[in-house]
Structure 1
Amino acid sequence: MSNQRPLDLYDIQGNICKGYGRFGFPKARYFFLDFHQPQLAQEFLKKLIPRITTAERWGNSNHPDDNQKPDTTTNIAFTYAGLAALQLPQRSLDGFPMEFRMGMQARKSILGDDGASAPQHWDPVWQGESVHAWVSINAKNTEQLEQAYQQIELLISESQNGVSIRPGHKGPNGTTLPYQNASAVFENGKATAKEHFGFTDGIGNPFFAGSGNDVSRLPGRGKLTRDGKWQPLATGEFILGHVDEAKEYPLAPEPKLLSRNGTYMVYRKLHENVKTFNDYVDNIASDFNGSKELLMAKFAGRWPDNGAPLVLAPDDQAKAELDKKLAELKAQAEQGDDCAAAQLKALREKWIDFNYEDDKAGGKCPIGAHVRRTNTRGSLETQPDAFNSKGALVDRRRLLRRGLPYGGEDQVSDDHSEQGIIFMCLGASIERQFEFVQQQWVNYSNDFKLGNDKDVFLGNHSGKLTDKAIIQAEPGSNEAPFLCTHLPRFVETRGGDYFFIPSITALEMIAQGIVDPA
């Protein structure tokens, strides 16, 4: 990977390499377009392209100064139906993977979108024919967000009815909006990494070669090697036109310039049943040997308040000691103690830089915990030296997570109010990455030797006795495993689709109508 040519970050859309929330853009608006006349839609795209945010570095990639960043970011992606509406050649359209061509609704049985999550219950925007394009705006504040949205609205109005915004997003207090707002959860006027169940979220996005991120972010985010070190994941796991972990180029349509430096995006509006979750935890915690917070941590694999992994603090006593240590080091560091500052930094790195080598039985972090399911960190290698690398079974399943929480603005907050997460993930293969994780690791557990048990949060539970989760006991202890049964559905799908995020070069080709697979 060290010999790889640098990526052209100016050709790659910015949301592929940047999680905007981490860079100080806690407000977002997502809206969807319909194309009614190809030539007029192409003219609209020509006007929009100069506004598209690229992946170019903003000074120091970890802590860029505000004057190095734009006030807002804008990105665009297309469904298969949208590319067809723009009259891409059929040969190019046929080159896209089957799951992308089918779209999310047609894959509902694979994704577990049944019952309350079935497509017929999704927001009105997803009913009828497929949307054609997704546009996102991220901003530092609401005023900047609104201003950028109005500017794009003006471009749409100038398209002479060639483009329109598809309305139909359920908003707060029974409203229906033409867009989906999203925002970091604010506490005391400051943006946090929390979501509406109360967990710190968005920890540990993958690190891939050429992303432009600082190398200090690599440990815990890359791929785990045989000697326990971390290396960047192959670029082709996340960006088309580059070699992936199999030393191959991901499946992509022709011509190469159409797909190169682009990727696929999964967009899902996930509604959180906050009251159901809180009631269930309160009820089960009364029988659990530990605090309510520990029980929640066992579900997630991380403590809800600060995201500390259970392998670092597996019980209430260890968490109290960790919190005390953090507070002491922080106080000393604020007084100018450089040694304490270094120790604090090293301790916080353990939030990411860890594995399950010393917790194979799940006594600290349950084997079925959410973070352990979705990033197994080499723990699926149950036989010594079974694969070329410890993480061979997860390196090809990693997901770049994007998006923000939404809602929480209703006058009354319960299961019927609007709150949840706008989940977006990026990868070079929707089927191999997102769909595999959703089907095999979220809604099934055979790889973890847990049979049909599902992810506590995302599983399509129905409240039956067999809808359960096992919290393993520490080997050698007198404790018995703790069973959580009759799990209800805590998260419901409210809409979504599969999108293609083209490069700037490909956007120009689409806008000019010069895509030629020959």
Structure 2
Amino acid sequence: MMSMAANDEAADIQAIAGRGFGSLTGACYLLLRIQDRALAKPWLRSVDIASVAQARTQRLSQVCQMAFTAAGLRALGTEVTPGAGFDPQFIDGMAGDERRSHQLGDEGPNSPAHWHWGVGEQEPHILLVLLAANTSINSLAKDTCSAAVAAGCAVIGGNTPTTTTTPLGREPFGFADGVSQPEYDWSGTLTPGGARDRDYRNLLAMGELLLGYPNEYGFVNDYPAADELGRNGSYLVYRQLAQDVAGFWQWLARQAGDDDGAIALAERMVGRGLDGAPLLGLQSATITGTDDARNAFLFADDADGLVCPIGAHIRRVNPRSADDPQGRHGFVRNLISTLGFSGTAMHDAVASARFHRLSRRGRPYGPVVAPHAAMQGTGAGAGAGQESGLHFLCLNTNIARQFEFVQGAWVANAKFAGLAAEQDPLLGNRLPLAGAQPTDAFSYTDSGAWPRAIGGLPQFVTVRGGAYFFMPGLRGVARLLADG
């Protein structure tokens, strides 16, 4: 595989594939519909899209990135079919199938029928991700909106607020965010397969992030290969998630009886401390692909969830599972484990994480309310009707195997890892299963080593909109926007 450090490759990759630009604290996620292709194409060609190569060599004061829905590609005159190499899930769209909505938990209040954007006339064609300093993001957004309208595009206003300058590093419930991110093999030296995949690693093959490269199976995913349209591209998933911060903390305070107990219970539900530290009792481990102490731990020594509950949020979105739940122990023990002569079925109930990781690029929005203030109903925005939430963005090359698997099989699934009646304690929609089986429980072991189970969890997070986008490399963008 060609090294991703090569200048011609790095110059072709959109910059957010390589980094999240945390120093640019202002963001705007501008959703557009093309109304006049003849006007839109020349303007879109003029938009300066930052590349990985630029991000490596320059200190960028603003960044623009561009991605297209399937409807947007059609509006530009591009054939969008599986035969052309496009991902079937991308072609269908996030809200294009009732079965997909059911799988993703997009039912009840989360149903696309209630979304602010993403469906019908509010379905976007183009996403422009604009990043800049707090002091300049509003003017950048305003100027870009004006230029878009003049170029025959309609601005979809449903993804309010248009811009966000909410401090980074914490999500609205107050927890450190972005702690566990995968690293990618930009040098092209990783060869998946073999004994070392029995251990969990945080370093992944480039084909999990970018199209045109071998993935964790050792294969290259199908992609739009004509004129290398898809090479160095990725699929971008965007979901706007509203978070009921006051409801979350006040419910916890009622359950726990006091503020400190509420925080302790919240940390069990998330699986981390508010500061992002792993829960006390999880043993540290050396993990390939990370040197962050907050990320250097495994769940192998906590197989029954006595420290970090099985259903905790971080355990669902990244169970840190390897190809062998017992890890690597030498030829004889590896053989015994492979043949199923050791361990239990329950401890092997979660798929290997390396096939399902995501590179997240989301940002919070709305007023910041500290946990204690939220419990008391005080603080900025508390009770004032101002929405807080998360612009969730992630990059992957196989939507079904990566985003949809994590969201459907791990987050929304009430039977994750052998549990019953428990969805993700943060993201679950709490709707009962067929036969009226509840999904609103959470089980854990308290600080006194007593097993506990809580029922009646409310829904804390509601989907406001969403879409699947194709984010090409810069050469791919040029081919999509060429005249003809």
User: Is the CA contact 2:4–2:187 (under 8 Å) kept in the aligned structure 1?
Assistant: no
Instruction: Say whether the 8 Å CA contact 2:224–2:231 is kept in structure 1.
Output: no
Output the TM-score relative to the length of structure 1.
0.77
User: How many angstroms apart in 1 are the aligned matches of 2:384 and 2:418?
Assistant: 32
Paired residues of 2:73 and 2:80 also in contact (CA < 8 A): no
For the 8 Å contact 1:27–1:182, the answer to whether it is kept is yes
Alignment partner of 1:53 is 2:26: no
1:234-383 paired onto structure 2 within 5 Å = 234-255=205-226, 257-286=228-257, 291-304=261-274, 306-311=275-280, 349-378=292-321, 381-382=324-325
> Could you say what secondary structure the match of 1:20 adopts?
coil
Paired residues of 2:178 and 2:360 also in contact (CA < 8 A) = yes
Report SS of the residue matched to 1:264: strand
Distance 1:370 1:461, change over 3 A: same
Q: How does 1:422-461 map to 2 (within 5 A)?
A: 422-461=391-430
Assess if the C-alpha contact under 8 Å between 1:380 and 1:447 holds in 2. Answer: no
Counterpart in 2 of 1:184? Answer: 166
Give a deviation string over 1:399-435, Cα, whole Å, max 9, x none.
Answer: 1111110112897434953111110111001111111
Q: Is the 8 A contact 2:94 2:466 kept in 1?
A: yes
Q: Which residue of 2 aligns with 1:169?
A: 159
1:78 to partner: Cα distance: 0.3
Q: How far 1:300 sits from its partner (Å)?
A: 0.6
Alignment CA distance shift 1:500-1:169 (3 Å): same
Which residue of 2 is the match for residue 110 of structure 1? 103
Q: Deviations over 1:489-514 (max 9, x none)?
A: 00000001000001000011111146
Instruction: Quote the Cα distance in structure 2 between the aligned partners of 1:112 and 1:224.
Output: 36
Cα distance in structure 2, aligned partners of 1:211 and 1:404? 28
Task: Give the distance between the partners of 1:483 and 1:397, measured in 2 at CA.
Answer: 29
For 1:73, the equivalent position in structure 2 comes to 63
Counterpart amino acid of 1:376? P
Write the letter of the residue equivalent to 1:294: A
What is the match of residue 325 of structure 1? none
In 1, Cα distance between equivalents of 2:201 and 2:322: 15
Alpha carbons of structure 1 residues 155 and 361: separation in structure 2 relative to 1, 3 Å: same
SS of equivalent to 2:252: helix
Contact 1:374-1:442 at 8 Å conserved across structures:
yes
Q: Which string of whole-angstrom CA distances, capped at 9 and with x for unpartnered residues, describes residues 194-238 of structure 1? A: 1221111111211011189xx9xx9xxxx9945757462100011
1:404 paired residue number: 363
- Check 1:466–1:446 CA distance in 2 against 1; reply closer, same or farther (3 A cut): closer
In structure 1, how many angstroms separate the alpha carbons of the residues matched to 2:83 and 2:141? 30
Q: 1 CA distance for matches of 2:149 and 2:83?
A: 28
Output the CA distance in 2 between the equivalents of 1:395 and 1:382. Answer: 13
In 1, the alpha carbon distance for the partners of 2:299 and 2:150 equals: 56
* Secondary structure of 1:512's aligned partner: coil
Match of 2:18 in 1: 17
Q: TM-score, normalised by structure 2?
A: 0.82
- Equivalence for 2:131: 138
User: Post-superposition shift, 1:19?
Assistant: 1.1
Distance 1:203 1:505 in 2: 32
Tell me the CA shift for residue 73 of structure 1: 0.7
Deviation by residue 1:127-167 (Cα, 9 ceiling, x = unmatched)? 535210001111122x32123224423532542xx223222
AA aligned opposite 1:105? A
Alpha-carbon separation, structure 1, partners of 2:465 and 2:197: 40
2:456 to 470, 482, 486: 486
Name the CA distance, whole Å, in 1 between partners of 2:81 and 2:112.
Answer: 30
Say whether 1:497 aligns with 2:467.
yes
Q: Percent of aligned positions with the same letter in both sequences? A: 31
Q: Contact between 1:402 and 1:425, CA under 8 Å: does it hold in 2? A: yes
Which residue identity lines up with residue 401 of structure 2 in the other structure?
R
Q: 1:233 and 1:271 mapped to 2: Cα distance?
A: 31
List aligned pairs for 1:150-169, cutoff 5 A. 150-159=142-151, 162-169=152-159
Using the TM superposition, name which of 124-133 and 352-361 deviates more: 124-133
Give yes or no for contact 1:275–1:415 (8 Å, CA) kept in 2. Answer: no
What SS class does the counterpart of residue 238 from structure 2 fall into?
Answer: strand
| SS of equivalent to 2:426 | coil
CA-to-partner distance for each residue in 1:156-198, whole Å, 9 max, x for gaps? 2542xx2232223344xxxxxxxx322333xxxxxx5112211
Report if the CA contact (8 A) 1:224-1:231 is conserved. Answer: no
Gap regions ≥5 residues in structure 1: 61-67, 172-179, 186-191, 315-346
Give the 3-state SS of the residue equivalent to 2:394 in structure 1.
strand
Q: How many pairs align?
A: 440
Alpha-carbon spacing, 1:224–1:79, altered in 2? closer, same or farther (3 Å): farther
Task: Give the equivalent residue in structure 2 for 1:177.
Answer: none
Is residue 169–residue 177 contact of structure 2 (8 Å, CA) maintained in 1? Answer: yes
8 Å Cα contact 1:183/1:404 also seen in 2: no
Name the CA distance, whole Å, in 2 between partners of 1:492 and 1:169.
13
Deviations 1:280-304 (A, max 9, x none): 110121399x833221110011101
Deviates more, 1:435-444 or 1:144-153: 144-153
Paired with 2:384 and 2:455, the residues of 1 have a C-alpha distance of 20
Which residue pairs with 1:97 in the alignment?
87
CA RMSD of aligned residues (A): 3.3
